[in-house]
Amino acid sequence: MSEQAGMPGELIYEYTVQFTQVTEYGVALDTLLSGAAAPPAEGARFDVAFEGPATGPKLKGAVKGVDYLHVRADGRVQLHIHAEITTEDGKKIALAADGVLILEPGSPVARLRENVTLTTSAAEYSWVNPIQVWAPGTVDFAKGEVRIKAYAV
């Protein structure tokens, strides 16, 4: 395993994706993230759809999915991501991830920490099935953009 960008492990892919739709369930996401309102006692749920290119030394193609974001009453922002990577040669890899979003007070940019599992039945990509992936990154709410680098650990 190598060291890249301070992360142990091998870089598998990286992506920069754009929000394509945000579904709000009773409270506005920007209101919570700006601190203009506190999360309600039951927390708040948002579905954040995204898509964009995936590049990297091991996987290339496009990623598309939804983060079922949950903002807890204590302010913790939990990620629950379901997505697919469609490789350049048309194969599908399922991506499931959880993690946290760490808000930076006064900034539209937050840090992400994702724990990712990849699965596929495509023989040429079966090497993704046993690995665990750690993916740090950022989300810029002003741009509606997420940047991730994913490492096998």
DSSP string, the chain: --EETTEESEEEEEEEEEEEEEEESSS-HHHHHTTSSPPPTT-EEEEEEEEEEEESSS--EEEEEEEEEEE-TTS-EEEEEEEEEEETTS-EEEEEEEEEEE--TT-SEEEEEEEEEEE---GGGGGGTT--EEEEEEEETTTTEEEEEEEE-
Selected from 2.40.160.20, 2.30.30.140, 3.60.15.10, 2.40.128.20, the CATH number assigned to the domain covering 3-152 reads 2.40.160.20
Half-sphere exposure of 73 (CA within 13 A, CB side): 3
- pLDDT reported for residue 6: 56
- pLDDT reported for residue 3: 43
Q: Supply the pTM of this predicted model.
A: 0.90
Which of 63, 68, 104 is closest to 86 using CA atoms? 63
- pLDDT reported for residue 32: 86
Would you give per-residue pLDDT tens digits along the chain (153 residues)? 344 455 568 999 999 999 999 999 999 998 888 788 889 999 999 999 999 999 999 999 999 999 999 999 998 999 999 999 999 999 999 999 999 999 888 888 999 999 999 999 999 999 999 999 999 999 999 999 999 999 998
Distance CA 78, CA 84 (A): 20
User: Which token pair is 121?
Assistant: 């039945």
Domains of the chain, by residue range, sit at 3-152
User: Which token pair is 137?
Assistant: 């990154």
Q: Please check whether residue 120 is in contact with residue 87, taking contact to mean a CB–CB distance below 8 angstroms.
A: no
Which positions ≥6 away from 34 have C-beta within 8 Å?
none
